[in-house]
Amino acid sequence: MTGSSDTPLVNILNVEKTFGDGGGFLSTAQPIVKALNNVSLSIEKGDSFCLVGESGCGKSTLARTVIGLNPPSKGEIHYQGTRIDSLSAKERQPFKRKMQMIFQNPYASLNPRMTVAQILEEPLKIHEKGMSKGAIKQKVEEVMVSVGNDPAWGPRYPHEFSGGQRQRISIARALMLDPEFVVADEPISALDVSIQAQVLNVMMDAQEKRNLTYLFITHDLSIVEHFGSKVAVMYLGTVCELADVKDLFDAPRHPYTQALLSAIPKMDGSGVNHIKMSGEVPTAMDLPSGCVFHPRCPYANERCRRDIPTLADNGNTKTACFAVEEGRV
Amino acid sequence: MGKPHSEVSGAKIMTRIKSFLNSDFVYRFRKDKVAVVSLGIVLVLVLSAVLAPLISPFDPYDLKSIDIMDSEIPPVWDENDGDERFLLGTDPQGRDMLSTILYGMRISLMIGFFAVLLQGILGVTIGLLSGYLGGKIDAFFMRLADIQLSFSTLMVAIITLAIFQAAFGAELYSKLAIFMLILVIGIAEWPQYARTVRASVLAEKHKEYVDAARVIGMSPARIMFRHIFPNTLSPILVISTIQVANAIISEAALSFLGLGMPVNQPSLGSLISSGFEYIFSGSWWITVIPSFFLVLLILSINLLGDWLRDALNPKLYKD
């Protein structure tokens, strides 16, 4: 059970997730959407593991699968060596307090009919049944202060706060149970740029003080560079490149990552010759054969159209690409 | 220890009341003349019904105070036959109409309120369960609701009550009538609540605060009743006012048909019904006056409900 140095904190093994089904009695068939295809990642303790990719590539689905909001269709999720995706709700309860989540939209993630104090007390009421009222109040105050909130906000309602303040309340809720692992699903993309940095600092601060591990989802690459330690690039439900942040930004190797990084605007104007990609992202209801990226990849050949590449250690980064393996890039 | 605490909460309640009186809700209410008048009428009628034993000049349940010689006296404004003791005249048994109407309204309102309470409890629970859990439970309850809605409420109520009346015998039935009416009207109309609540739950359950509650590890029951339910209250409030009016109408209709409250304990419906036989002999007031009160009550409740629906729906700002 105890995480020794070689068991990762969170291990995602060959996870697949499909939505929709072929229909049954009195229900119409819905198209099957393959949101995640054979995703394997391991997150070490202390990591700020970033997940990047464009809209609809399955980042959020992966996060929700890890935290237990959507059970995986196939594959396993391990937490400190214990498989957690197959546990019953009751057996999973001790893991719930170790794994928490920060949501994207601070306007929807706080219950509009509950006061800030009620929202923050809920986790303690569920997991710390014997805790006295005074102790709960003290804990709420302590966490509020640690994320830069005024404890006097307690009796007020979420609509009285700005986006950044709400997101800090949301972070406070995630920290109430002293978790080890926090999933943050685009926690700052709904915020004003001037507030983004502030919220990011609160999160980095919490990581330092509480020894947290983050799974951080974003589509903002500059945040990855600033915040992350490891990064996985996703495209259409598959991980196409996995690397340390520094290595990835120094030398991206997967053609998709290269295109993605070249799209970052640069101050000196050198970014104008970015790699232009043709076509649209195919729909997840009808995945391309072989490598999912091949219809838009400038290096694609017959093998890419036929076989599915797997993440392989080649060079400084792990890539799922035949062109990289064969040295064609 | 206890005293300062209660003082603090007292001050809190005062500020709450103040902020409520200054809210948009109250402001828009004050601007709407129809809403103010209907609330006034509803309050006066409800209060006079609740306080009937204190304010009514006679006790219509007290057989000793009734004199058959006083029967069918017209209202006071009839100069020839009016009797100043009976403001609104008397009915065929010699009961004072005003007192009988006040007591009758009490019964009508009580049946309306408790029937709606029963509908609400059933409908909200079923609506929350089917909306949140979905799947087979949802399909089962919603098909049940469809089937029940394909029968008219009155038809179900008439059949059920007629069977019970035959089974119990008229005497026992007249004692149980009030409970039977509450039960039948309550059970007959739960689909209204269940469907409304289910629709709101479907909209609410995909919001992130519900996901957050699930991540924390809350039980589905706690999520449903503590987190989702408070967010479905405004549609519940709106249909509740309209359902109270509907329940009173149903009760009046059933009583008019002779399946409701007995003559010795009349509701507005049974009063209207009992006067109906005398309407051609010139005693119009026995039917018309209770009808007027019934219409006034239902109309005000419905207007209030309409206003509430507009007020709680920000998309319908009128000015």
Q: Cβ B211–A69 below 8 Å, yes or no?
A: yes
Q: How confident is the model at residue B118 (pLDDT cuts 50, 70, 90)?
A: very high
Please give the backbone phi and psi of residue A181, each rounded to the nearest 5 degrees, phi first.
Answer: -130, 125
For chain B, helix (H) and strand (E) counts, in that order, are 14, 0
> Residue B215: which of A101, A108, A112 has the nearest Cβ?
A101
CB-based contact (8 Å) between A26 and chain B?
A: yes
Average pLDDT, rounded, for chain B: 85
Residues 48-77 of B with CB under 8 A from A: none
Give dist(CA A151, CA A171) in Å, integer: 14
Give dist(CA A220, CA A93) in Å, integer: 33
pLDDT 10s digits, B14-23: 888 888 777 7
A112 vs B contacts (CB less than 8 Å)? 209, 231
Contact status, residue B214 vs residue B223, Cβ threshold 8 Å: yes
In angstroms and rounded to an integer, the radius of gyration of the C-alpha atoms of chain B is 23
Q: Cβ B215–A68 below 8 Å, yes or no?
A: yes
Q: Is the pLDDT of residue B90 over 90?
A: no
**What number of residues does chain A have?**
329
CB-based contact (8 Å) between A179 and chain B?
A: no
CB-based contact (8 Å) between A69 and chain B?
A: yes
Q: What DSSP string runs through A248-270?
A: HHH---SHHHHHHHHTS--TTSG
- If one counts every other C-beta atom within 10 angstroms of the C-beta of residue B56, the result is 19
A127 vs B contacts (CB less than 8 Å)? 216-217
Q: Cβ B227–A111 below 8 Å, yes or no?
A: yes
A69 vs B contacts (CB less than 8 Å)? 211, 214-215
Amino acid A294 reads: H
Q: Is the pLDDT of residue B317 over 70?
A: no
> Residue B218: which of A26, A92, A126 has the nearest Cβ?
A126
Helix (H), strand (E), coil (C) string for A152-215: HHCCCCHHHCCHHHHHHHHHHHHHCCCCCEEEEECCCCCCCHHHHHHHHHHHHHHHHHHCCEEE
Name, in order, each residue with C-beta under 8 angstroms of A111's C-beta and a sequence gap of 6 or more.
A119, A158, B209, B213, B227, B230, B231
DSSP state, residue A296: G
Give dist(CA A182, CA A198) in Å, integer: 18
CB-based contact (8 Å) between A213 and chain B?
A: no
**pTM summary value:** 0.81
Q: How confident is the model at residue B202 (pLDDT cuts 50, 70, 90)?
A: very high
Q: Are strands A238-244 and A317-319 parallel, antiparallel or unpaired?
A: antiparallel
Which uninterrupted H or E stretch holds B151? none
- Angle at CA of residue A37, ends A35 and A40, nearest 5°: 120
Give the residue among A94, A102, A88, A39 at the shortest CA–CA distance from A65: A39
Helix axes B97-133, B33-50, angle to 10 degrees: 110
Contact status, residue A321 vs residue A291, Cβ threshold 8 Å: yes
Q: How far apart are the first and last CA of chain B?
A: 50
A126 vs B contacts (CB less than 8 Å)? 216-218, 222
pLDDT 10s digits, B264-298: 888 888 888 888 888 788 778 888 888 999 999 99
> Residue A96: which of B215, B230, B231 has the nearest Cβ?
B215
In the numeric block, the tokens 């008397």 are attached to: B90
Q: How far apart are the first and last CA of chain A?
A: 43
Give the pLDDT confidence score for residue B252 in this predicted structure: 87
Name the maximum alpha-carbon separation found in chain B: 79
Give dist(CA A42, CA A230) in Å, integer: 10
B314 vs A contacts (CB less than 8 Å)? none
Contact status, residue A72 vs residue A17, Cβ threshold 8 Å: yes
Please give the backbone phi and psi of residue A254, each rounded to the nearest 5 degrees, phi first.
Answer: -70, 140
pLDDT 10s digits, A112-137: 889 999 999 999 998 888 888 899 99
Name, in order, each residue with C-beta under 8 angstroms of B314's C-beta and a sequence gap of 6 or more.
none
Contact status, residue A96 vs residue A68, Cβ threshold 8 Å: yes
Nearest-CA distance from B89 to chain A in Å? 52
CB-based contact (8 Å) between A96 and chain B?
A: yes
**What number of residues does chain B have?**
319
Give the residue among B160, B162, B163 at the shortest CA–CA distance from B151: B160
Contact status, residue B203 vs residue A57, Cβ threshold 8 Å: no
Query: Mind listing the pLDDT tens digit of every residue in chain A (329 residues)?
Result: 444 456 889 999 999 998 887 666 666 778 888 889 989 999 999 889 999 988 888 899 999 999 989 889 999 999 998 999 888 888 888 899 899 999 999 889 999 889 999 999 999 998 888 888 899 999 999 999 999 999 999 888 898 899 899 999 999 999 999 999 999 999 988 888 888 989 999 999 999 999 999 999 998 888 898 889 999 999 999 999 999 999 888 888 898 988 888 887 777 766 566 777 777 888 888 888 888 888 888 888 888 888 888 888 877 788 888 888 888 77
Give dist(CA A81, CA A9) in Å, integer: 8
Chain A / chain B CB contacts < 8 angstroms: 62
Q: Cβ A123–B216 below 8 Å, yes or no?
A: yes
Give the residue among A34, A194, A168 at the shortest CA–CA distance from A103: A168
Give the pLDDT confidence score for residue B319 in this predicted structure: 47
Q: In chain A, whose CA is at the least distance from the CA of B214?
A: A69
Percent of chain A with pLDDT over 90: 38
Q: In chain B, whose CA is at the least distance from the CA of A175?
A: B216
Q: Any idea where the domains of chain B sit in the sequence?
A: 32-316
> Residue A109: which of B208, B217, B218 has the nearest Cβ?
B208
Q: In what order do the strands lie in the sheet with A74-79?
A: A33-43, A10-19, A74-79, A82-83
B219 vs A contacts (CB less than 8 Å)? 89
CATH of span B32-316 = 1.10.3720.10
Q: In chain A, whose CA is at the least distance from the CA of B234?
A: A113
CB-based contact (8 Å) between B205 and chain A?
A: no
Contact status, residue A44 vs residue A229, Cβ threshold 8 Å: no
Q: In chain B, whose CA is at the least distance from the CA of A112?
A: B231
Q: Which ipTM was obtained for this model?
A: 0.87
- If one counts every other C-beta atom within 10 angstroms of the C-beta of residue A275, the result is 13
Structure tokens at B109: 């309102």
pLDDT 10s digits, B123-152: 999 999 999 998 889 999 999 999 988 888
Helix (H), strand (E), coil (C) string for B57-68: CCCCCCHHHCCH
Residue A189 burial by Cβ neighbours in a 10 Å radius (0-12, 13-18, 19+): middle
Name, in order, each residue with C-beta under 8 angstroms of A110's C-beta and a sequence gap of 6 or more.
A116, A119, A158, A166, A169, A170, A173, B209, B212
CB-based contact (8 Å) between A93 and chain B?
A: yes
